[in-house]
């Protein structure tokens, strides 16, 4: 009888550890998922603002979205573009509209994230190329409590 009682107590104690830990891991996953959703929403809004600045040729807004050590590699084969060159080229932009889709944010650490998305760009009707679809990869970093683009890489989709 004493053995049954001992086994019953052991089962109860071990069961308490197993079931007692489950809500902590579930709540930990829930908090992590909520943080990921918050980051995705934040960067989605910032990427839309980045493309609005490009569309409107707004150097001030575009410059504020980029880090000082920003580097872009665009699909035109023109090589690296640093922040100053990207800002000076903005005045020649002929983007009339854009559509972003398939946004995926991967958190790298608390102050960095990799973002990939597809953008469908429209140009003026009389342009040689009326539209273009590109895949974009960006590295966003948190600098002075502001999320900014550190690196931009695009690939043209045929």
> pLDDT of 113-131, one tens digit each?
999 999 999 999 888 888 9
pLDDT for 61 equals 95
Mean pLDDT score, 52-78? 94
Q: How far apart are CA 115 and CA 149, in angstroms?
A: 10
Quick one: tokens of 141? 């970093």
For the chain, what is the domain count?
Answer: 1
Judged by average pLDDT, the poorest of 6-20, 103-117, 132-146 is: 6-20
pLDDT for 116 equals 98
* Cβ–Cβ < 8 Å for 158, 135: no
Mean pLDDT score across all residues of the chain: 86
Q: What is the DSSP letter of 92?
A: G
Q: Which residue has the higher pLDDT, 79 or 2?
A: 79
pLDDT for 15 equals 56
Mean pLDDT score, 120-147? 92
**Within 10 A of 133 (CB to CB), how many other CB atoms are there?**
14
Residue 54's domain comprises: 2-157
> pLDDT of 13-39, one tens digit each?
555 555 555 554 556 678 788 888 889
Single out the residue of 94, 22, 110 nearest to residue 54, CA to CA. 94
pLDDT for 135 equals 97
Residues contacting 39, CB < 8 A, separation 6+:
105, 107, 113
Quick one: tokens of 7? 């086994």
- Looking up residue 110, the CATH number of its domain turns out to be 3.10.450.50
Burial of 16 (0-12, 13-18, 19+ CB in 10 A): exposed
Residues contacting 17, CB < 8 A, separation 6+:
none
This prediction has a pTM of 0.78
Confidence category of residue 11, pLDDT binned at 50, 70, 90: low
Confidence category of residue 60, pLDDT binned at 50, 70, 90: very high
Single out the residue of 112, 150, 148, 152 nearest to residue 135, CA to CA. 152
pLDDT for 106 equals 95
**Rg of the Cα trace of the chain?**
24
* Cβ–Cβ < 8 Å for 40, 105: yes
């Amino acid at each position: 009888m004493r053995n049954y009682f001992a086994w019953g107590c052991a089962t109860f104690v071990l069961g308490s550890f197993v079931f007692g830990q489950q809500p902590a891991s579930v709540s930990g996953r829930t908090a992590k998922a909520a943080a990921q959703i918050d980051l995705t929403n934040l960067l989605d809004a910032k990427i839309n603002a980045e493309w609005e600045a490009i569309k409107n040729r707004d150097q001030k807004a575009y410059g504020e979205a980029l880090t000082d050590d920003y580097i872009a590699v665009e699909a035109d084969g023109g090589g690296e573009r640093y922040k100053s060159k990207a800002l000076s080229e903005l005045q020649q932009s002929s983007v009339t509209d854009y559509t972003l889709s398939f946004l995926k944010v991967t958190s790298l650490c608390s102050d960095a994230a990799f973002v990939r998305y597809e953008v469908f760009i429209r140009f003026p009707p009389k342009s040689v190329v009326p539209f273009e679809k590109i895949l974009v990869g960006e590295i966003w970093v948190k600098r002075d409590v502001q999320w900014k683009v550190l690196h931009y890489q695009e690939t043209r989709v045929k």
